[in-house]
Structure 1
Amino acid sequence: MSAKSVVSTKRRGSLKPRRGSIVPAQSSKEMPWDLFDRLLLPLLCCHAVAIILSNLLNILRISQVTTFTLFMWFAVSVVGAILFYHHLKVSAPGKVILITGCESPLAWFLARKLDDLGFTIFAGFTKRACEDADQLKEEGTGRITVLQLDVTSERQMLEASLLISENLPDGARGLWAVVHCATWVALGELEWVPFPVLRKSIDINLLGAARLTQIMLPLVRRTNGRIVFLSSALSRIPAPVRGAQCATQAGLEGLAVCLRHELKPRGVDVSIVSAGEFAGGTAWLSESSMLEQARNMWALLSDEQKQTYGEEYFEQALRSLEKYTNVDADILPAVRSLVDACVRTFPLPRYTPVTRAEKIQTLLAEHFPRPVYDVFYGN
Structure 2
Amino acid sequence: MKQLSCLFIITFLLLGNSWGAEHKNILLLLGSANPEVLARRVDVAAQLYQIRPMDAIVVSGGCGAHGSNICEASSMALQLTSKGVPAKLIFKEENSKTTVQNYIFSRRLKNNDGERIIQPGDTVYVVSDHWHAISVAARLEKYDGVIAKFFIEGAIQPKKEDRLDYAAIFNGYTDNHLFTLKGTWLTPEVVWTKKDSLCYLTQDIIYTTDIANTTFSITPVQKLFPFLKNSSEFNPPVFIDDSSVWYILFEGLCRKVSKKDFKVLQEQPIKEWLALPESLDWSNFNTGYIQGETLVLIGNEKMVLAEKKGKQFLYAQETLPQQYYVNWPYSWGKGNLSAARLLPADNKVIFYRNMESITCTIDRKIIGNAVPLKLKWIGETK
Same fold (TM over 0.5): no
TM-score when normalising by structure 2: 0.24
Highest Rg: 1 or 2? 1
Which structure is higher in helix share? 1
TM-score when normalising by structure 1: 0.24
Q: Using CA pairs under 8 Å that are at least 6 residues apart, name the structure with larger relative contact order, 1 or 2.
A: 1
Which structure is higher in strand share? 2
